[in-house]
Amino acid sequence: MTATIIDGKAYAQGLRARIAAAVGTLAGQGVTPGLAVVIVGEDPASQLYVKNKARQTVEVGMRSFEHTLPASTSEAELLALVATLNADPAVDGILVQLPLPKQIDAQKVIEAIDPAKDVDGFHPINAGRLMTGVPGLVSCTPLGCLLLAQSVRRDLSGLNAVVVGRSNIVGKPMAQLLIAQSCTVTVAHSRTRDLPAVCRNADLLVAAVGRPEMVRGDWIKPGAIVIDVGINRVPNPAAGEGKTRVVGDVAYAEAVKVASAITPVPGGVGPMTIACLLRNTLEAACLRRGLTMPQVDFASAS
């Protein structure tokens, strides 16, 4: 078997086009959603993601507010900026790029963001809403993973889903989203006994461990849907000294021969993270103003 390659880049592009159309509808009502992105420090990967977020925000017709703070920024200074953004009526969504420098408690910052502007869906209020089935802002990466899985199989109900990774940002919300789709969900992690055997039980496998190519081809049930969240930079000596390449948490060349469908890295889940962020910003802009969210078709695969 050779798996269908789930093209996250194309899906995200289509989704952004539909978001842009919805933003156009809102503009007719005099509303332009605004997204504030805060970056602290000079991590090159974070700088790239923030640059892409700002560009794509403007491309869909929203306002982008970028705040670049030095790596020496104190927790109090960052919290003060968050308070200013909470109070700014032009800002509908606030995202503080992670990771943060070690002098700053990320959880404290997440909890300082107004839940109505928490377009990352990381605030405990939004996480709790997801857990209890109440509408709220949902973390972008898990939402993107769900949309990609549904692009190859609309109805996931009854599937055995295994999520490898238990982070607050991906693993836990992913599990909640899949429970809401009536999957039978197992959350596996570094202490899980016989992880390969657990993974082999998965009709739908989501790998979010942050370990390059940890999930091998023989861990995968023939015909499974595989969603790879990992973005790991590894040395690429073939391209020259000091060069790197990006690989996922799944050994792609092996897995593609066993799965029925798989997301590549790059070009799978990553682009969906930003598209879902824009979708959340649109939703936050509507909810804050008591407006009906313009219809955005999330099910179209492109």
Say how far apart CA 248 and CA 227 lie, in whole Å: 10
The residue among 52, 49, 65, 46 whose CA lies nearest residue 16 is 52
Residues 48-87 that bind ligand LMY7XDAE (CB under 6 A): 49
257 and 226 Cβ atoms separated by less than 8 Å: no
Compute φ and ψ for 119, nearest 5 degrees: -70, -10
Measured distance CA(237)–CA(162) in Å, rounded:
34
Q: State yes or no: is 118 an active-site residue.
A: no
Instruction: Kindly tell me which residue out of 167, 267, 288, 293 binds ligand LMY7XDAE, with binding defined by CB under 6 A.
Output: 267
Q: In what order do the strands lie in the sheet with 261-262?
A: 4-5, 261-262, 225-228, 204-207, 160-164, 184-188
Residues 273-292 that bind ligand LMY7XDAE (CB under 6 A): 273-274
For the question of residue 243 being annotated catalytic, the response is no
Nearest to 79 by CA among 47, 111, 102, 116: 111
List of residues 6+ apart from 275 with CB closer than 8 A: 11, 12, 15, 16, 19, 56, 144
**Does the annotation mark 53 as catalytic?**
yes
Per-residue interface string for the shown chain with ligand LMY7XDAE, residues 159-178, x marking contact by CB under 6 A: --------------------
- Taking CB under 6 A as the rule, which mask of x and - marks residues 127-156 in contact with ligand LMY7XDAE? -------------xx---------------
Catalytic residue among 7, 56, 97, 118: 97
Contact residue for ligand LMY7XDAE among 270, 279, 284, 296 (CB under 6 A): 270
Q: Which residues pair with 24 in a beta bridge?
A: none
In the list 7, 92, 118, 120, the residue contacting ligand LMY7XDAE (rule: CB under 6 A) is 120
Closest of 122, 98, 141 to residue 230, by C-alpha: 141
- When asked if residue 45 is in the footprint of ligand LMY7XDAE (CB under 6 A), the reply is yes
Task: List the structure tokens of 186.
Answer: 């197992």
- Between 26 and 137, CB nearer to ligand LMY7XDAE: 137
Q: Nearest Cα to 81, choosing from 276, 91, 289? A: 91
Q: Which residue is nearest to ligand LMY7XDAE (CB)?
A: 270
Residue 157 is assigned to a ligand binding site: no
Quick one: 183 or 231, whose CB is closer to ligand LMY7XDAE? 231
Of the candidate residues 231, 255, 278, 285, the single one contacting ligand LMY7XDAE (CB under 6 A):
231
- Which among 7, 92, 118, 120 is annotated as catalytic? 120
Instruction: Report the alpha-carbon distance of residue 170 to residue 181 in Å, rounded.
Output: 16
Least distance in angstroms from the C-beta of 263 to ligand LMY7XDAE: 9
Q: From the annotation, which residues make up the binding site for NADP(+)? A: 165-167, 231
Q: From the annotation, which residues make up the binding site? A: 165-167, 231
Name the site residues for ligand LMY7XDAE (rule: CB under 6 A): 45, 49, 95-98, 120, 140-141, 231, 246, 265-267, 270-271, 273-274
